Copies of this chain bind each other. A is one copy, B any other.
Amino acid sequence: MNTLSAEVLCPVERKRTLGRRLPAAMECLAKVARCKTGEPIYCQEDPAHFWYRIVTGAARSCVLLADGRRQIVDFLMPGDLFGVGEGQAHLFSVEAIIAETTVARYPRRRVEVLAESDVEVGRQLRETAFNSIMRLQQRMLLLARTRAIEKVGSFLIEMADRSSPATENTVALPMSRYDIADYLAIAVETVSRALTQLRQRGAIVLDSSRVVRIIDRGALQEGCTVRH
């Protein structure tokens, strides 16, 4: 009975699905573009004429709030499909966060038409959407954590699970502390302090400020796991 609950925390199954390419019929509609660091892939309120997929690199999906805060809605990694099903205009901005980020662009209308004629494409899109829903639900549980140290701990585990299995315990964070703070909805200083505290507890080692080695996975999840 724990097989599924394990999936909640260690989304290996999901990773496989997200990482793989889309059906050939859809891939041949794609055009690939290259983005510099900080360069927007699209902006909030731009007409949503395309769907996108990260090929290499990483990006952040974010929104500016009225109080001046920036909320990062998601970090996008290779294989992630985004900008999908958003009505007439994009609800968020998406910007590359590391150099050499390449993005595949799919014309929305043509994909929608394709989905109605090609059963396989339709099924794949539904599956992708369902996976997004699961990831969003996990993110909601993360944001719902009350303590900053639990948020940061869960974040590190999320990043570890999303990176390649080979380097599961050494995470190279592509984003700054500011990005992490806006993702977790806490202050930058609090992120820094939480990392320091996790280091002092022996849960992690900071090889550099952007490279984290996870020593004690259990300590990171402390109080963050689902009860059985």
Give the B-binding residues of A (Cβ under 8 A).
1, 3-5, 7-8, 13, 44-45, 63-69, 71, 73, 84-89, 91-92, 115-117, 119, 122-123, 125-127, 129-134, 136-137, 139-141, 143-146, 185, 223-228
> Do A141 and B3 touch across chains, with their CB atoms under 8 A apart?
no
Copies in the complex: 2
List chain B residues, Cβ under 8 A from A145: 185
Kindly name the residue among A129, A132, A139 whose own CB sees the greatest number of chain B CB atoms within 10 A.
A129
B116 & A123 in contact (Cβ 8 Å cutoff): yes
Alpha-carbon distance A12/B185, docked complex (angstroms): 27
Closest to A123 in B: B116
CB distance from A45 to the nearest CB of B (A): 5
What are 11 A-B residue pairs whose CB atoms fall within 8 Å in the complex?
A3-B88, A45-B228, A64-B226, A65-B227, A66-B223, A84-B133, A115-B123, A116-B122, A122-B123, A125-B126, A140-B140
Nearest residue, chain B, Cβ from A92:
B137
Q: Which residues of chain B come closer than 8 Å to A85, judged between CB atoms?
A: 126-127, 129-131, 133-134
Q: Can you name the residue of chain B whose Cβ is closest to the Cβ of A125?
A: B126
A64 to B8 alpha-carbon distance, docked (Å): 13
The answer for the CA separation of A39 and B7 in the assembled complex, in Å, is 26
Q: A45-B1, A144-B71 are contacts. A130–B84 as well, Cβ < 8 Å?
A: yes
